[in-house]
Amino acid sequence: MQRSRVGTRRPSRDVVATAGGAVLFALALGVATVALPLLAIAAGYNGIEIGILAALSALSQMSTRLVLGPVMRVFPEWILVLAAGLLLAASNAVVAASSALVAFGLAQLLQGVARACFWTGSQTHVVRGDGPAVRGLAVVNLASSVGLVAGPVLAGMLTERSPQLALGAGAGVALVACIPALFLHRLPPFALPDERPAGRLWRRPGVDGGCWAGVTAGAWRGLLGSYVPVALSAAQLTSSTIGVLVSVANTASLAGSGVVARVRGAWVGWSYAVATVATGVATAAVAMFAGSPWAAGAALAVSGLGAGVLQTVGPAMAAEAVHPQERGEVIAVTGTFRAGALFAAPLAVAAMLPVVPLTLAMATAGAVIALPVLTARRVHRTVTFDRPAHQSCG
């Protein structure tokens, strides 16, 4: 039978492997996002302890990202993606076997390293292609959002029987996520460019905006994996309902990543500004409306939409502003800012809880994570995405 000449172009093995690995890794991570805090609540840990444990994962991720730039000059990024699946499997398996404090701490540490390796490795891999960085990053974020949507729903259903069962399933999925990493293109490690502009990388025009976008998106993700389930649980919502609501946020994040893939010109600055404000304000409203699943779902949808835009636009802005051989390093740098916010946001809420109720603490955190909107004018002046992705802008 003769093949049609129209619309039959098959995605390359590398694209399929990238997207497939992102779906599976995010599915396992989405399970842990809901199952870990719910298991902690069932085991008798209080809100402050849950926040500190979540912050431990972010601290581990931030510390790991600090060294991944130099690491990628020795090892190619597909090694990081493979290691991430193994580490996430170990993280889920440890806490499925024991709910002791040491097990929770170890699980969060391993999860942080896994997050750092996977997101840095996969994002770096796609920005090394010839196409615009924002499109490659949108593929990763859209695929991962599918897993992050399904994971919390799966976790909610399995947690009705046992949180340990949910985490055991998450460990199995993480192991399967290692397989696509073996089919990624074997690109060589990075080399330092002959000439580099003076000053710190994160302060360069374009890179700085990407870093601040990571701060807002990271803080949102940190709260979604810690105090959002706690606030919904305190409002007497069931585990299944909580899982669905978290999936609403992740679905909206998927939509945000998809919409922003075609953003160009002056719309870059506008999308950055609107997404930053939307993420902060809607995050502040979640705890206020926790008693109403519909209202809480609406707030989570708005916050997720904004975060999805930022988690795609941020790294893309930074990657297109530097020399091609600096892209691994710049993805690690923007990720470090994201991980720093992922660490600071739950810890900040935990620090406020002894003196203010959770609703006020979440509102304050939401207001703070909207502050990077003050950098929007600089982003508008310096970043348009009109340059081809392979051009050096450093």
Q: Does residue 338 carry a pLDDT above 80?
A: yes
Among 186, 205, 191, 170, which residue's Cα sits nearest to residue 85?
170
Residues 74-88 have pLDDT tens digits of 888 899 999 999 999
Q: Does residue 3 carry a pLDDT above 90?
A: no
To 10 degrees, the CA torsion angle through 126, 129, 134, 135? Answer: -90
Stronger pLDDT, 136 or 228, i.e. the higher one: 228
C-alpha angle 289-294-296 in degrees, rounded to nearest 5: 35
Q: What is the mean pLDDT of the chain?
A: 82
For the ranges 5-19, 110-124, 297-311, the lowest mean pLDDT is seen at: 5-19
Residue 284 and residue 366 in contact, taking contact as beta carbons nearer than 8 Å: yes
DSSP 197-226: -SS-GGGSTTHHHHHHHHHHHHHHHHHHTT
123-131 average pLDDT score: 77
Q: Does residue 117 carry a pLDDT above 70?
A: yes
Two tokens at 302?
């708005």
53-73 average pLDDT score: 84
User: pLDDT at position 295, please?
Assistant: 93
pLDDT band at 392 (very low <50, low <70, confident <90, very high): very low
Alpha-helical (H) ranges within the chain are 13-42, 47-71, 77-97, 101-127, 133-161, 163-176, 178-181, 207-224, 227-234, 239-260, 267-286, 293-319, 327-352, 358-369, 376-382
277-294 average pLDDT score: 91
User: pLDDT at position 70, please?
Assistant: 86
Percent of the chain with pLDDT over 70: 87
Residue with tokens 């170890």: 106
- pTM value is 0.73
| Other CB atoms within 10 Å distance of the CB of residue 321 | 25
Q: Does residue 193 carry a pLDDT above 50?
A: yes
Q: Does residue 393 carry a pLDDT above 50?
A: no
Q: Which residues of 85-115 are buried (b: 16+ CB within 10 A; e: fewer)?
A: bbbbbbbbbbbbeebeeeebbbbbbbbbbbb
